[in-house]
Amino acid sequence: MHYLANDTRYDSMTYRRCGQSGLQLPAISLGLWHNFGSVDPLSTQKEILRYAFDNGITHFDLANNYGPAPGSAEENFGRVLASDFKPYRDEMIISTKAGYHMWPGPYGEWGSKKYMIASLNQSLKRMGVDYVDIFYSHRPDPDTPLEETMAALDQVVRQGKALYVGISNYSAEQTQRAEAILNDLGTPCLIHQPRYSLLDRWSEKGLLDVLGKRGIGCIAFSPLAQGLLTSRYLKDIPADSRIAKSHGFLKKETLTEERLQALRSLNDIAANRGQTLAQMSIAWLLKDARVTSVLIGASSVQQLKDNLYATKNTLFNQGELDVIDRTAGPVMM
């Protein structure tokens, strides 16, 4: 059946300016880290992507190694782009990254110009696009000069292969250095993508302050701590959950009894707000004006639909924030 986008797709989504740039991102973006690889049904992927776009999610976040198998998320996204979204390409923000292991040998990971340029060329081919909207350095390389990695980002913008560039997993100090180099080259650092959630707050140790002061956007990944900040694990471990999957990143030993009790308490706080635990966790991130967008995953349309409701209430009173901090504090990841 031929896809036609929902005429009211922009009516309910909030868009936030990304730092000091001209770009606005939806408050909630869709990440394709999980559930969009070759091991996942393409029909389900298409349903999720359609629902996302029909409800104002214009930003779709990928990386060269997303799958499994590595590269397959980009290939699948490219298939859906060709079959469904081709008329809407100019309404979409497509991002990808390079930094983690992708192919054998010394040029298949990290941050050399050789790897970064080759990786983006491969990503463009897999997705069937001429350019991406955002290209990231996925992680800092301890053995390659930062100037070289940033020069690669600058080069792809000048070549027209990316409109904007960003960094991910860089510390506050590394972010300041990277931004200064990019500014000297004339290609601003648009955005930083850190891991950030109620249970994982390393971004609060200087990074968010740097982003706020320098006018760099922030998009939080793993906002639900790989699914811990949902109702899925409050009773038992579902067979189809990330903990149960052999290829998942979330391990069973992460779910300690102490953490489980804290999650149940956080779930009660969310219920008092009229939200699910997942909705409250996303809203908690969006309460900070420095956070441009929250990057969520989805294994089903229903899961995506539920999480979109998080944008309906992002206001917290001080009492709620204090209780959340006291509850989450002892079980931080």
Q: Could you tell me if 263 and 231 are in contact, meaning their C-beta atoms sit under 8 angstroms apart?
A: no
CA angle 84/303/255 to nearest 5° reads 135
Question: In percent, how much of the chain has pLDDT > 70?
Answer: 95
Q: Could you tell me if 39 and 68 are in contact, meaning their C-beta atoms sit under 8 angstroms apart?
A: yes
Question: In percent, how much of the chain has pLDDT > 90?
Answer: 90
pTM for this structure? 0.94
Reported confidence tier of residue 250, pLDDT bands at 50, 70, 90: low
Beta bridge partners of 166: 136, 191
Q: What pLDDT, in 10s, does the model give residues 111-156?
A: 999 999 999 999 999 999 999 999 999 999 999 999 999 999 999 9
What is the pLDDT, as a whole number, of residue 234?
A: 86
In the three-class reduction of DSSP (H, G, I as helix; E, B as strand; rest coil), residue 110 is classed as: coil
Q: Where are the domains of the chain?
A: 15-228+276-314
What is the pLDDT, as a whole number, of residue 117?
A: 98
Q: What pLDDT, in 10s, does the model give residues 8-43?
A: 999 999 999 999 999 999 999 999 999 999 999 999
Mean pLDDT (whole number) for 67-81? 98
Mean pLDDT of the chain: 95
Q: What pLDDT, in 10s, does the model give residues 302-326?
A: 999 999 999 999 999 999 999 999 9
- DSSP, residue by residue, 262-283: HHHHHHHHHHHTT--HHHHHHH
State how far the Cα of 16 lies from the Cα of 25, in Å rounded to an integer.
5
Closest CA to 154 of 184, 178, 185, 191: 185
Q: What pLDDT, in 10s, does the model give residues 255-268?
A: 788 999 999 999 99
State how far the Cα of 141 lies from the Cα of 154, in Å rounded to an integer.
17
Q: Which CATH entry fits the domain spanning 15-228+276-314: 3.20.20.100, 3.40.50.2300, 3.40.50.300, 3.20.20.370?
A: 3.20.20.100
What is the pLDDT, as a whole number, of residue 40?
A: 97
Query: Within 10 Å of residue 333's Cβ, how many Cβ atoms?
Result: 16
Whether residue 329 is predicted with pLDDT greater than 80 in this model: the reply is yes
Reported confidence tier of residue 253, pLDDT bands at 50, 70, 90: confident
DSSP 204: G
Inter-CA distances, 328 with 99, 260, 261, 268, 305, Å: 31, 11, 10, 13, 26
Q: Could you tell me if 298 and 304 are in contact, meaning their C-beta atoms sit under 8 angstroms apart?
A: yes
State how far the Cα of 171 lies from the Cα of 50, in Å rounded to an integer.
35
